Amino acid sequence: MPKSSSKPRHHVLRLTYLEQAAFYLSTSASQHSTLPTTQQTGPARSLLTHLRSISKKTQIRLDTSTKARICKLCNSPLIPDHTSETRMDNASKGGRKRCADVEVVECLFCKGVKRKPVGAKRQLKRAGRTKKDGKNNTGNNIEESLTRETIVGVE
Ligand SMILES: [Zn+2]
């Protein structure tokens, strides 16, 4: 589902329709036909190509959940265990750090990879960081530097 509500309604409806149609086609094709998956998702892939081009042209942002289900490289729908494989990676030494957990979704057509950090907390936006930390840090730093100078001066 697209995010914006101030954009023209017919564009938003068209994007929603294309998304639903593409995922319906790809899931129903997998249940009923014996064709290889590359031929099954052809129509779904073209619908998702339309979806992305329309969202770019009309400047309507796609929802993050929608973007997570579309391959960025070949526009094929990413359906777990059907058109994509999901695994967990951890690049830390011995895989010990929980914050280094990354969910990796691999497209089975183009072998493209999407990575999403799972274990790490998301950093605050800049406005939130500078309000809290900026005042405290600058104040503390000045005081610390003053005390160091005075101590050095005494010695
Ligand atoms: Zn792909």
Residues whose CB is under 5 A from ligand 1 (ion)? Answer: 71, 73-74, 107, 109-110, 112
Give pLDDT, residue 41.
73
- Edge-to-edge, what's the strand order for the sheet holding 113-117? 84-90, 101-107, 113-117
Give pLDDT, residue 102.
93
Q: Write the single-letter amino acid at 66.
A: T
If you measure from the C-alpha of residue 45 to the centroid of ligand 1, how many angstroms do you get, rounded to a whole number?
10
Please name the helix (run of DSSP H) or strand (run of DSSP E) that holds residue 48, with its range, or none. Answer: helix 42-57
Q: Write the single-letter amino acid at 136.
A: N
% residues pLDDT > 90 (the chain)? 46
**Average pLDDT rounded to a whole number, residues 99-127:** 91
pLDDT band for position 58 (cuts 50, 70, 90): very high
Give pLDDT, residue 130.
81
If you measure from the C-alpha of residue 56 to the centroid of ligand 1, how many angstroms do you get, rounded to a whole number?
19
Tell me how far apart the alpha carbons of residues 118 and 134 are, in angstroms, rounded to a whole number: 28
User: What is the gyration radius of the CA atoms in the chain, in angstroms?
Assistant: 24
Token duo for residue 40: 């099954």
Specify the pTM. Answer: 0.67
